[in-house]
Structure 1
């Protein structure tokens, strides 16, 4: 499928032609996490239109590279397209959220993934209700707004383009740098849960904390990782600090600088603008 460029001036049209791979990359990243009823063409159409609109409105004087600007616009359009397909009723969404919260709570308390019977008992429901809630949860496309585990940031395309390969390599370099620069306790939690597949209860015993504290450290670490990676790749996604001069924010800024320095020293990425 080709992008419609006939209504653009030549500069904008060239931007579209040069960055068609951005659409393919974003679609390939999202497609494995949506229901099979969603086709590549559905998402590509929304992405190509967003690319055209991005080229038309791009202002080079901002200093933001067009590839980065277009990626944000394309991904936003794909998510909007998925939201428009979201069929789930309010009740189904509520059940899905309840089941997700119950599974998370039981995983922390049991130190393992709970069975469907254990989830049903905790919810005060039968197994059939749990099965339906699980199906609803899997089909909820709005969950794409929640950042995924950075460990899963790989392209599923069997034949990626050179630009897609470069973008993926850069993302992985920043992810590894962000993990390596985490404070020691947060790094233990992230590597234990996501790299070594350890149970939360094991990490709690090692660190001398409760399983619920492991859950809190996990949340804290993933938020810091996300912002550390986005500082280099998508700065517009990093939230403005509530207390710019506070001690916590100064620590965050030191972490961001350390992540950037490590990523650049890895020799495969450029310094962030």
Structure 2
């Protein structure tokens, strides 16, 4: 049985720390140019999705259920990124080819100095190339320490609850203000769990295009939230904004306006006392 919206929101607030935990676990295993905010956005949407689809009657603790969804979303986000640069991939391939050739020529595994000489690099750079080659997304599937119980048991204090409510309000507003095609992709993937192939057919685009739209949507959500809540992390606006920049700024403003309107409605609802009719 699905939970009421209030109960879903409470679950999201109580377990938001799971997103930070899993992002921290993943961010240590990928190159430094992978943005933490991008993984956090994917994880946050997965948490919302988990709360919307959670069925307590199944007997599975929400923390465990949500952790699986959050971690899966972060992995999907990483797999959708081309986070290994072209140069990194080329060096990794060359390293593999040289290792194979030298092994055949020498009749044994080549030493690091032999490989480095064959590649025309120093031994330290060779180690760096080897490390990059080994840091594959599939390695992220290894189990991590399960801290879901201790994390989710810590209920947010009033100040933390305000911060969480604000971020959720902006996230919801950001999804609502996305362009129609991007909103359809986000809702389809994160909230309706529809297959990418089905979304692609409905929108008349390729599956790779769906991946691009998903990345674009998450980037817009991240930038809109940072612009409103973490200005130091927000993208720097151009001094002479073009059409694309003006559209981005209009989107940020629309998100802020919608989030503010939602907050105002909440305040009014809380402040307005219920009307009690008296029996005549």
Q: Please, what TM-score do these two structures have when normalized by structure 2?
A: 0.46
Higher relative contact order (CA 8 A, sep 6+): 2
Normalized against structure 1, the TM-score is what? 0.47
